[in-house]
């Protein structure tokens, strides 16, 4: 009887430990190139903290995002494609719209699951009314800026300061990357330590303007112009991530922290997207495939690289499930749970992944397996493209283009003419995904 009771006690405690809600830290890097970090092939810029975290977990080689920042942020926070939120493009300062108020956010879901929630960095999903700002969208704590293109030293955008704590204007000196990290470390150390933490850290680095303290430029004297400045900016972000990791360790939280790292879109020049085609703003791979990884000691295998594709929408159900939260809600979720893919190398749960341009559904792409179809010029919904077959539009897109990404990650060879049946099937699937597409800026 004594041994039976001891066994039951041990099982209870082991189960309780396994069920303990993890802290979740999500690093979103602004305009990072696919191959700028060492873990994804970069050689020019030293990113030791980022690379160590990446090697301690699973590197996701085919992690899809949106071609610009606001849409990617909306997909992360709602688990829904832009076709269902209406956030296809960048939310401008003062614009009378933002992430629709009917949307439940990841922060809402995690707070309902008992988490304290904090954002330190860039929001970029609407601010013209308090109801659109982070503190009304599930975040207990907000610090940083509402928009992009921020001066890293003055914290001004178009001669107007864009720096806030909990929605209140804040006058503060310092380099923004340093300040964001410092605030994140404070959040980790403060608050109700018994509660699990969701910490969302969307850095404004390495987005232009290209600005960094001179000390970060010295190791990159061999680089020129904005590439040198970007290198220094990324080194500062890497240092900041190391500081946040150290704060988690000091607080005794690191071993039970799930860390996710991603860019918000492909890098613009002078970012390096090798071997992918094109840059930010494009639905070619260089615009919508992000450098990404996830790590959680003992739960996500270390030293693993996976090729199975996923999309930013997938983090919403995956993180909520790992947090023990509820996915019951009024609006349907596009994302799927990718935990078996990350931890057991299971197949992607998607039969198709959607990419939509900043113009909306008139230019869109679908990936199915290793194949990607891009349809441009009103042809995405099955309507005639209205252009001569094979003629490029907007300088680089063709009405219909098919690529085998396993053999051609640079999307150099259009196989549409050689694979008419595949094109037909993929166009039909794309039309399904776009059938109920929302207009831009739905409120």
- What are the catalytic residues? 69, 124
CA distance 268 to 280: 5
Q: 276 — phi, psi (to 5°)?
A: -85, 160
CA distance 329 to 240: 36
Tokens matching residue 335: 């994302």
Residues 6 or more apart whose Cβ sits within 8 Å of residue 135: 142, 166, 167
């Amino acid at each position: 009887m004594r041994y039976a009771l001891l066994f039951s006690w041990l099982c209870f405690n082991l189960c309780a430990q396994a069920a303990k809600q993890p802290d979740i830290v999500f690093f979103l890097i602004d305009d990072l190139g696919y191959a700028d970090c060492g873990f994804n092939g970069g050689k020019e810029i030293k990113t030791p903290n980022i690379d160590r975290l990446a090697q301690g977990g699973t590197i996701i080689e085919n992690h899809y995002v949106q071609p610009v920042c606001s849409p990617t942020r909306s997909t992360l926070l709602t688990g829904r494609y832009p076709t269902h939120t209406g956030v296809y493009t960048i939310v401008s300062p003062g614009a009378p719209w933002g992430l629709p108020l009917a949307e439940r956010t990841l922060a809402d879901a995690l707070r309902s699951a008992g988490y304290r929630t904090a954002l330190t960095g860039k929001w970029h999903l609407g601010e013209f009314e308090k109801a659109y700002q982070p503190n009304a969208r599930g975040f207990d704590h907000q610090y940083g800026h509402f928009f992009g293109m921020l001066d890293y030293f003055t914290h001004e955008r178009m001669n107007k300061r864009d720096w806030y704590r909990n929605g209140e204007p804040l006058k503060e000196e310092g380099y923004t990357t340093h300040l964001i990290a410092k605030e994140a470390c404070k959040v980790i150390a403060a608050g109700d330590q018994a509660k699990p933490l969701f910490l969302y850290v969307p850095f404004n680095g390495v987005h232009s303007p290209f600005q960094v303290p001179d000390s970060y430029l010295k190791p990159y004297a061999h680089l020129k112009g904005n590439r040198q400045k970007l290198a220094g900016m990324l080194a500062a972000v890497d240092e900041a991530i190391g500081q946040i990791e150290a704060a988690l360790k000091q607080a005794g939280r690191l071993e039970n922290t799930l860390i996710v790292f991603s860019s918000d879109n492909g890098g613009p020049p002078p970012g390096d997207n090798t071997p992918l085609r094109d840059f930010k703003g494009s639905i070619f791979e260089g615009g919508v495939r992000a450098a990404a990884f996830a790590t959680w000691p003992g739960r996500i295998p270390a030293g693993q690289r996976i090729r199975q594709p996923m999309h930013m929408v997938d983090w919403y159900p995956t993180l909520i499930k790992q947090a023990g939260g509820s996915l019951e809600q009024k609006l349907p979720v596009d994302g799927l749970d990718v935990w078996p893919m990350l931890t057991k190398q299971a197949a992607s749960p998607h039969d198709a992944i959607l990419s939509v341009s900043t113009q909306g559904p008139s230019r869109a792409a679908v990936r199915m397996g290793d194949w990607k179809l891009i349809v441009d010029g009103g042809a995405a919904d099955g309507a005639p493209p209205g252009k001569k077959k094979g003629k490029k539009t907007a300088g680089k897109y063709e009405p219909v283009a098919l690529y085998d990404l396993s053999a051609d990650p640079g999307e150099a060879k259009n196989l549409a003419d050689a694979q008419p049946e595949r094109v037909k099937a993929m166009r039909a699937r794309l039309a399904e995904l776009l059938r109920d597409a929302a207009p831009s800026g739905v409120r």
